[in-house]
Structure 1
Amino acid sequence: MAGQREGELCVRVLALALAAIFALGARADDCPCADNALCRPVSGDKSFELLVFDVGGTDWTHYDFSRVTTIAAFGIYDPQLICHAHAHNVRVVLKGDVPIKNILDRTQRKNWISDKVQLAKQQFMDGINLDLEDPVELKSEGYYALTQLVNETTQAFHRDIPGSKVTFDVAWKPGCVDGRCYDYAAIAASCDFIFVMSYDMQSQIWDDCIAKANAPYNQTLLGYTDYLNLGIPATKIVMGVPWYGYDYPCLQLLEGDRCMIRSIPFRGAPCSDLAAPQVPYDVLMQLLPRSITGRFWDDVQKTPYFIYMVNDTYHQVWYDDPQSISMKAAIINKLNLHGIGMWNANLLNYDDPKAAVQTKEMWNALIPH
């Protein structure tokens, strides 16, 4: 009799396990991993978040999975990434991107959320990173719809994928940067944490059209202070740092290495970093030896730069390197923030042995001291 009851119990446990898998929107035999357990959502909270944005390819095979906690998969779906990440208790989350005009209607919003939850289930993912950067007017229809989207997305993912995380990418400071007049306090309260994009700080240049650092230290610190002043808990804030720079062609190179740039307006500002292309860190390191200045350090903005020439045009390149990133990472301990991440992990050279030291130093710079 006892053996029969034990057998019935095993059957019930198995049935519950299968039901759980079906509840996640996928069959057990759909799991791409050798071990079906690796298709279950990662659970548990991390005391320190290292959020990695990955835009595809196989660079992820070089990441340090003993330190990474979440990978935001912005590239083509790679089931092997899911298996490897889950084997190391690392979450992989979807990219969530939708024009705000498409989520004004409650039904449209609900359908979009439902589609994303279903996709996450089918791909055995652990949540979603919401990356919406449309301009929104204060107290407008879009202002309220965006907050509702974050709240409803979080509720749906938490309900349907236990242990999942919903995060939201925000500008380097609250307010109306680039016309994004969002309800940042309500958004932070609705999701698991916000990722502060502490870069592209010259997207709107309101004074002279002069090239400046992508992520000056003082502006970076100001942004976090402003978010904390909104009442957002430090434990809900993750710092974002750039692994790229801007290559500004100079109309004129003035005294003090002031580089005059083209006036390209952006969302109301007369000038912007649209005057320069973004350049990956690994490409910058190839450009640096060919510069006419070598690496210079700006002690006001606390970032490096260099100047090179093409034909008769001076180019001024502003970027971040291990020194400037380490200084910003120290803010995490200063303000007790929840962690750090970068845009994006694919901007280093993982294949050339000559770049191995550069790559290691950039990853190590993410460790707050």
Structure 2
Amino acid sequence: MLKKILLFFLTIGIVVTAVTLYSLWQYSLPLVSPLALIENYIAPPKPTDKIVYGFFPYWNLKHAENLHIKDLTHFAYFSLSLNEDGSAQKKVNSIELEPGWNKLNSSSLDKILYQVRLLNQKTILTVTAMEPEIIAGILNSSTNQETALNSILQIFIDKRFDGINIDFESISSPDKATKDNFTLFISKLRTRCRTIKPNCEVDIDIFADSARRNRLYDLASLSPIVDHFIVMTYDYYRKASSQAGPIAPLRGACPKPSGFSELMDPPEGCLEQDVTTNLSEITAIVPPQKIILGVPFYGYEWQTTSTEFLANTYAGTGALASYQRVRDLFSDTTISSLSATWSSTTMSPYLTYEIDDETRQIHYEDPRSLELKIKLINSANLGGVAIWALGYEVPYLDIWQPIADYLRNQ
């Protein structure tokens, strides 16, 4: 009789386990098998003070099933956009939903956020305002600030995020009142967010030149109230640049001129700025541990006048080139002219090729250049690395190796 009872409960246990595993499998969690989920509960990831921040833009949701997220500590959805009055931008017109808002409320994103939580990673809501007029409208009105705070925190609560990332990218030169109001806004956001969730993180994204130019961010005032500063150390050359150059040069900035002649005629091939110089300027104001180094999983492609480094570009030919695009080109057997070059000046790669009697040039990041940036993070005692953007590398995972090594080498 006892054997029958034991057999009955054993059978029930097997059935319940099987149903649970099948349900998890049917949920279509990208890159996580039922076995991995069980292992997650048995042996959670080893805690680390190193941060790997991954920004996931709504337009890459098409890669949801193939995302590599296991080497993240923070998953940041991009983004919730704000209107000038501080309200969440939900529509682009009377008919069409704003895409970031639309994807924020999609079942596809819910599945990814569910997986992120199973991996004991933090979920972050990125909040954006990109136009100077919108940013000033939000910050310079107490009513609009209040509306913005309520809009952000309502989504924070509804979607159960762990933190908030503020990405206000004003390319104009703000006045002191606007800068002070941004600091006040961040202070209010942090206080209220921690009232809701005591360990709420509030992070901000800043331009790489924020310590040398008049930007929105008063770094000294923000430092005590911001958890992390994600430094956007990329886009040193952009789609519209008149020369084809490195997107995230580790070094290569022109030396400070020692005389009038050098000021008027800097050394050939040097750059206006580089990552190392910008970071040294920022860490003179903000503790290094609060600095997260932004790295690109993309580059830019231009039609150029030659194959030379810093070749002139043809106007209007610049385009984003994801890491996937670069790797696909290397595999394209129809392009015999492709040539890859490593710049020892900027510590970054670029490639050239000919197509339809046009010279093309792409500057990008690869595992080698990323490994050097990880070494900089370690040597400068920075807080971590931030990726822009998850999905640009799919399906090529080799660029993740330096990041995986960074996390595991405690």
Distance 1:283 1:276 in 2: 14
**Which residue of structure 2 lines up, in the alignment, with residue 210 of structure 1?**
243
**Which residue of structure 2 lines up, in the alignment, with residue 119 of structure 1?**
155
Q: Alpha-carbon deviations, 1:204-248, whole Å to 9, x = none? A: 99xx94221001111111121111111x11111111100001101
**Which residue of structure 1 lines up, in the alignment, with residue 399 of structure 2?**
362
2:337 to 288, 292, 295: 292
Deviation at residue 61 of structure 1 after TM alignment: 5.1
Q: Does the 8 Å contact 2:67/2:391 carry over to 1?
A: no
Q: Does the 8 Å contact 1:82/1:124 carry over to 2?
A: no
**Which residue of structure 2 lines up, in the alignment, with residue 314 of structure 1?**
359
Alpha carbons of structure 1 residues 61 and 164: separation in structure 2 relative to 1, 3 Å:
farther
The one-letter amino acid of 1:53's match is F
**Which residue of structure 1 lines up, in the alignment, with residue 350 of structure 2?**
305
**Which residue of structure 2 lines up, in the alignment, with residue 86 of structure 1?**
117
SS at match of 2:71: coil
Distance 1:86 1:46 in 2: 16
Q: Does the 8 Å contact 2:238/2:300 carry over to 1?
A: no
Alpha carbons of structure 1 residues 132 and 222: separation in structure 2 relative to 1, 3 Å:
same
Deviation at residue 287 of structure 1 after TM alignment: 2.0
Q: Does the 8 Å contact 1:243/1:320 carry over to 2?
A: yes
Alpha carbons of structure 1 residues 222 and 171: separation in structure 2 relative to 1, 3 Å:
same
1:115-264 paired onto structure 2 within 5 Å: 115-137=151-173, 139-175=175-211, 180-203=215-238, 209-218=242-251, 219-230=274-285, 232-250=286-304, 252-253=305-306, 256-262=308-314
Distance 2:143 2:354 in 1: 55
Alpha carbons of structure 1 residues 109 and 68: separation in structure 2 relative to 1, 3 Å:
same
**Which residue of structure 2 lines up, in the alignment, with residue 330 of structure 1?**
375
Distance 1:49 1:127 in 2: 14
Deviates more, 1:107-116 or 1:139-148: 139-148
Distance 1:303 1:291 in 2: 22
* Unaligned runs of at least 5 residues, structure 2: 1-46, 79-99, 252-273
Distance 1:362 1:119 in 2: 33
Alpha carbons of structure 1 residues 181 and 107: separation in structure 2 relative to 1, 3 Å:
closer
Deviation at residue 323 of structure 1 after TM alignment: 0.5
Deviation at residue 82 of structure 1 after TM alignment: 2.4
Alpha carbons of structure 1 residues 335 and 241: separation in structure 2 relative to 1, 3 Å:
same
Are 1:283 and 2:325 counterparts?
yes
Deviation at residue 143 of structure 1 after TM alignment: 1.7
Distance 2:320 2:217 in 1: 26
Q: Does the 8 Å contact 2:239/2:319 carry over to 1?
A: no
Deviation at residue 173 of structure 1 after TM alignment: 3.0
Q: Alpha-carbon deviations, 1:38-81, whole Å to 9, x = none? A: xxxxxxx8511111111242645555555311100115222222
Q: Does the 8 Å contact 2:239/2:302 carry over to 1?
A: no
Alpha carbons of structure 1 residues 87 and 47: separation in structure 2 relative to 1, 3 Å:
same
The one-letter amino acid of 1:94's match is L
CA RMSD of aligned residues (A): 2.6
SS at match of 2:182: helix
Distance 1:243 1:291 in 2: 25
Deviation at residue 137 of structure 1 after TM alignment: 2.6
Deviation at residue 86 of structure 1 after TM alignment: 1.5
Q: Does the 8 Å contact 2:239/2:300 carry over to 1?
A: no
Distance 1:124 1:133 in 2: 25
Are 1:52 and 2:84 counterparts?
no
Distance 1:134 1:174 in 2: 11
Q: Does the 8 Å contact 2:67/2:394 carry over to 1?
A: no
The one-letter amino acid of 1:259's match is A
Deviation at residue 135 of structure 1 after TM alignment: 2.7
Distance 1:141 1:203 in 2: 30
Distance 1:105 1:292 in 2: 57
Distance 2:402 2:245 in 1: 22
SS at match of 2:246: coil
**Which residue of structure 2 lines up, in the alignment, with residue 97 of structure 1?**
128
Deviates more, 1:239-248 or 1:56-65: 56-65
SS at match of 2:235: coil
Alpha carbons of structure 1 residues 204 and 105: separation in structure 2 relative to 1, 3 Å:
farther
Deviation at residue 303 of structure 1 after TM alignment: 0.9
Distance 1:292 1:363 in 2: 28
Q: Does the 8 Å contact 2:204/2:228 carry over to 1?
A: yes
Distance 1:66 1:49 in 2: 13
TM-score (normalizing by structure 1) = 0.75
Q: Does the 8 Å contact 2:178/2:216 carry over to 1?
A: no
Sequence identity of aligned pairs in percent? 21
SS at match of 2:311: strand
Distance 1:217 1:194 in 2: 19
SS at match of 1:86: helix
Distance 2:366 2:143 in 1: 45
**Which residue of structure 2 lines up, in the alignment, with residue 268 of structure 1?**
none
Distance 1:278 1:64 in 2: 21
SS at match of 2:345: coil
